[in-house]
Amino acid sequence: MGPAALLLLLPLLGPTPAGAAPKQDEILQLPGLAKQPAFRQYSGYLNVAGGKHLHYWFVESQNSPQSSPVVLWLNGGPGCSSLDGLLTEHGPFLIQPDGNTLEYNPYSWNLNANVLYLESPAGVGFSYSDDKNYVTNDTEVAQNNYEALREFFRLFPEYCSNQLFLTGESYAGIYIPTLAMLVMQDPSMNLQGLAVGNGLSCYEQNDNSLVYFAYYHGLLGNRLWSALQTHCCSQGKCNFHDNQDPTCTLNLLEVSRIVSNSGLNIYNLYAPCAGGVPGHTRNEDTLVIQDMGNLFTRLPVKQMWYQQALLRTGARVRLDPPCTNTTAPSTYLNNLYVRKVLHIPESVPRWDMCNFVVNSNYQRLYQTMNEQYLKLLSAQKYRILVYNGDVDMACNFMGDEWFVDSLNQKVEVQRRPWLVSDGNGEQVAGFVKEFANIAFLTIKGAGHMVPTDKPLAALTMFTRFLNKEPY
């Protein structure tokens, strides 16, 4: 057996020596940086059951890593890569439009935390499965992510006793609480809390609130609004989620079209749509689909359209987040030299921001995270933060605020502005409402990707959350 084969076997051959991170995973010369970082970083695979290999990229804290917390970060989709979080949101360096250059991020979340970016589930990004079967569901993903965390601590035993926080965005609104249910039962992990940004917490509340959000942001107009009131509402209560009235369904399809397909940026109402007004565009032999399948999932016509689109095309199908330019991170991560430095095997396919196969075959087992949050809160020892950029339409702030309110926890601090100092004195960064062990917080003027839109406010919020300081 050659030395290369031995290296591949190392993670499987029992414990790494105490206090020793896996040397073979260390990133020594990251392309695109004018100067290499002073902190250490690692990229490799966390092997879990069923022959699955989840790719991780771990950046140590810039300030005393040995005592800094370990923070897991997951992006959503389902089927989208957490390297989006690293390279475009809150990583130590951000990809530039040329797709080759990385610039240091002054608002990086690893300033005072060790951050583990995990590409999950298998099939997403550089993660893969030996059998290439990418059909999965919420329960299996939670189990795989839990096993990946265990494997991480086995490879990095020096971090076992550090505080652990589970964080993520979007569909991680499902990933994070379901993972926390497993982690909270494992005394070997020092779980302290979780933070979910613009998370999908409850399909019904997300759909219902979105229609109000769209109307009061001037997107629907009075004719459509009064039709919705007439056909979707009775006795002062509206059901925009699974209403059986055929006229209501037609009106909701119109809402869905305006929000998702008219050229508005669903992730940030006030930001331009990258590439201009989109459609379900055909690009040479590729069908580009831009629907993650999280909104108005009960609309029958929508489900039918999706299936027909798949049957109609013999082309390669690509899932791309709408109004988002994924060219720069794709160019960078598919550079052969970058892949080599990140220790990605040559057999692993090209990196895409989102994986259509994973997304379209994904089985959603939960309609709400109510039970998971109540169980976590009943332990009375975890700090939970639900935060939302307030101009996102994919997972809007109102739905998540309704969700947190519906948990019926004891209010400790009434809703108030929270402030951030930006060089022009103190500014209102958003609003926060605090309950016994959970807070709901908005970030004013941010969309779905909060740290991209408001990096200073996001870092301030994150730091206060980790340090258990008042927001």
Q: Are 218 and 301 within one domain? A: yes
Residue 7 has a pLDDT of 42
- Residues spanned by the domain of 62: 23-202+366-467
Same domain, 193 and 209: no
pLDDT tens digits for the chain (471 residues)?
Answer: 444 444 444 444 344 444 578 899 999 999 999 999 999 999 999 999 999 999 999 999 999 999 999 999 999 999 999 999 999 999 999 999 999 999 999 999 999 999 999 999 999 999 999 999 999 999 999 999 999 999 999 999 999 999 999 999 999 999 999 999 999 999 999 999 999 999 999 999 999 999 999 999 999 999 999 999 999 999 999 999 999 999 999 999 999 999 988 899 999 999 999 988 865 444 556 777 878 888 988 887 655 555 555 555 556 778 888 899 999 999 999 999 999 999 999 999 999 999 999 999 999 999 999 999 999 999 999 999 999 999 999 999 999 999 999 999 999 999 999 999 988 899 999 999 999 999 999 999 999 999 999 999 999 999 999 999 999
Residue 324 DSSP symbol: -
Give domain status of residue 118, yes or no: yes
Tokens of 361: 């075959």
Last residue of a domain, one of 298, 324, 350: 324
- The catalytic position among 84, 207, 392, 453 is 392
Last residue in a domain, options 258, 291, 324: 324
| Spatial CA neighbour of 72 closest among 168, 159, 4, 141 | 168
Q: What are phi and psi of 439, to 5 degrees?
A: -125, 145
pLDDT of residue 68: 98
Whether 232 is covered by a domain: the verdict is yes
Q: Is residue 353 part of a domain?
A: no
Domain boundary among 308, 324, 340: 324
Looking at the fold, whether 105 and 193 belong to one and the same domain comes out as yes
Does residue 388 lie in a domain region?
A: yes
CA–CA distance from 85 to each of 197, 296, 298 (Å)?
12, 26, 30
Are 73 and 187 contained in the same domain?
yes
CA distance 385 to 198: 11
Check 68, 127, 129, 170 and give the catalytic one.
170
Euclidean distance between CA atoms 30 and 41, whole angstroms: 10
pTM over 0.85: yes
Question: What is the distance between the alpha carbons of residues 427 and 415, in angstroms, rounded to a whole number?
Answer: 16
448 carries an active-site annotation: yes
Number of structural domains (the chain) is 2
- Asked whether residue 347 is domain-assigned, the answer is no
Handedness of CA 170, 69, 85, 269 (dihedral sign): positive
| Residue 359 in tokens | 């997304």
Q: What residues have CB less than 8 Å from 55, skipping those under 6 apart?
A: 43, 44, 45, 118, 119, 125, 126, 127, 344
| CA dist 17 → 3, 55, 67, 68, 155 (Å) | 19, 22, 20, 21, 9
The answer on 209 and 195 residing in a single domain is no
Instruction: Say if residue 418 is in the same domain as residue 401.
Output: yes
Whole-angstrom CA distances from 43 to 17, 109, 155, 244, 370 are: 19, 18, 12, 49, 35
Question: Do residues 198 and 104 lie in contact, with contact meaning Cβ atoms separated by under 8 Å?
Answer: no
What DSSP line would sit under 240-277, residue for residue?
-SS---HHHHHHHHHHHHHHHHSS--TT-TTS--TTSS
The answer to whether residues 398 and 318 belong to one domain is: no
In a domain, 37, yes or no: yes
Q: How many Cβ atoms from other residues are within 10 Å of residue 18's Cβ? A: 8
Nearest to 262, CA basis, from 214, 200, 229, 314: 214
Kindly name the residue from 55, 231, 343, 448 that is annotated as catalytic.
448
> Do 55 and 134 reside in the same domain of the chain?
yes
Same domain, 313 and 452: no
Same-domain check for residues 185 and 242 = no
Task: Name 396's Cβ contacts closer than 8 Å, sequence gap at least 6.
Answer: 206, 209, 210, 213, 388
- Is 392 a member of any domain? yes
| CATH (domain of 451) | 3.40.50.1820
Residue 13 lies in a domain: no
Q: Which residue has the tokens 């298998």?
A: 122
405 is catalytic: no
Look up 245 and say whether it is catalytic.
no
Whether residues 213 and 241 share a domain: the answer is yes
Residues 195 and 246 in one domain: no
Count of positions (residues) in the chain:
471
